[in-house]
Structure 1
Amino acid sequence: MIKRIVTAILLAPTFVVAQASGPLTVELNKLESGEGSGCRAYFLFRNQTGMSFEALEISLALLGGDGVIERLVTVDASPLPAARTTLKLFEFPETDCKGLSEILLHEIGSCKPQNRDEADCFELIELDSKAAVPLVK
């Protein structure tokens, strides 16, 4: 009995991912200089998973031209309705957009599909960039 419960707990996040009908594409669409010394990043979240997300918090590492991490930022992309593309604008203070060489998806702090338990959504996420700076895993 205990073995079954432990197995069910260990497989719960995988079950959510297995139910997804498509990816959650995170696209860096545009970067532009913000007020002062900041950088504005426009992201499109294309949710083709068949699930709405009530929580999605991701950590991004911003790498400078020399490949060294300039800063870590955490952004909250929720909510994300199913079968929709959602535009989110994030401000990165004290960051020069032109000085960025790459943005790395460092980790997913929170991923909770609506009416389901917290899950590991890393495998659901596909990355794309229309900006001159690549978005990578």
Structure 2
Amino acid sequence: MTRAGLSSSRWYIALGFLAFFLSGAAAAEQEVTKERLSLTLLSSTQQELVCRITLQFKNELNVEIKNLAAEIVLLDKAGLARDFLVLDGGSLTKDKRRIRQFDFQETRCADLSEILINDVIRCEGEGLNPRLCAARLSLTSSADIKLGL
């Protein structure tokens, strides 16, 4: 085998290892991004002077959440802040869904355009913190009111 042939085969081996490493890194990144904290606005119903919203929380992280809370802002149709509130999501075991209802006093659901998740203020659990949980939020809405960041 010539010297050039040996160098060429080493080059192919190095490229093979690099491709293997990069594919493993991409797979690991996909695994990490699958971890999320899902929040779905299922419905909003008017009950006299109360707007009742129904939210579904789902813990798709790899650990139990012992205490979850978020500061929200109710935005009106003009996009103006109507109210600032804290929603307590409680605890969530891994892969657990929890449905909670929240009553907004003296609020007409029809006047709201969006519920903005202003910040995650509590997210307690092994290796968790509010910043990590905020980064893993996945929001959807099945109601006329948008749920956003």
126 and 46 in structure 1: CA distance in 2 versus 1, 3 angstrom threshold:
same
Following TM superposition, by how much is the alpha carbon of 1:21 offset from its aligned partner in structure 2, in angstroms? Answer: 5.2
Relative CO higher for 1 or 2, CA cutoff 8 Å, sep ≥ 6?
Answer: 1
Q: 5+ residue gaps in structure 1?
A: 1-17
- Cα distance in 2 between the residues matched to 1:26 and 1:117: 17
2:121 aligns with: 109
Q: 5+ residue gaps in structure 2?
A: 1-30
60 and 98 in structure 1: CA distance in 2 versus 1, 3 angstrom threshold:
same
1:57 aligns with: 69
- Cα distance in 2 between the residues matched to 1:119 and 1:97: 28
2:5 aligns with: none
Q: Which runs of 4+ in 1 moved over 2 A?
A: 18-21, 115-119
Letter of the 2:39 partner, please give it.
Answer: V
Following TM superposition, by how much is the alpha carbon of 1:118 offset from its aligned partner in structure 2, in angstroms? Answer: 3.8
Is 1:29 equivalent to 2:52 in the alignment? no
Alignment counterpart, residue 76 of structure 1, candidates 62, 81, 88: 88
Following TM superposition, by how much is the alpha carbon of 1:78 offset from its aligned partner in structure 2, in angstroms? Answer: 1.0
Is 1:38 equivalent to 2:42 in the alignment? no
| More helix, by proportion | 2
TM norm structure 2: 0.73
Q: Percent identity?
A: 24
Cα RMSD after superposing both structures: 1.8
CA deviation vs aligned residue, 1:54-105 (integer Å, no higher than 9, x gap) = 1111011101111111101111001111111110111111111111011111
* Residue pair 2:120, 2:130 contacting (<8 A) in 1 also: no
* Residue pair 1:42, 1:87 contacting (<8 A) in 2 also: yes
Following TM superposition, by how much is the alpha carbon of 1:133 offset from its aligned partner in structure 2, in angstroms? Answer: 0.9
The size of the alignment, in residue pairs, is: 118
Following TM superposition, by how much is the alpha carbon of 1:119 offset from its aligned partner in structure 2, in angstroms? Answer: 4.2
CA deviation vs aligned residue, 1:32-64 (integer Å, no higher than 9, x gap) = 113x31111100012111211111110111011
State which structure, 1 or 2, has the greater radius of gyration over its C-alpha atoms.
Answer: 2
Following TM superposition, by how much is the alpha carbon of 1:19 offset from its aligned partner in structure 2, in angstroms? Answer: 6.6
SS in 2 for 1:98: helix
2:136 aligns with: 124
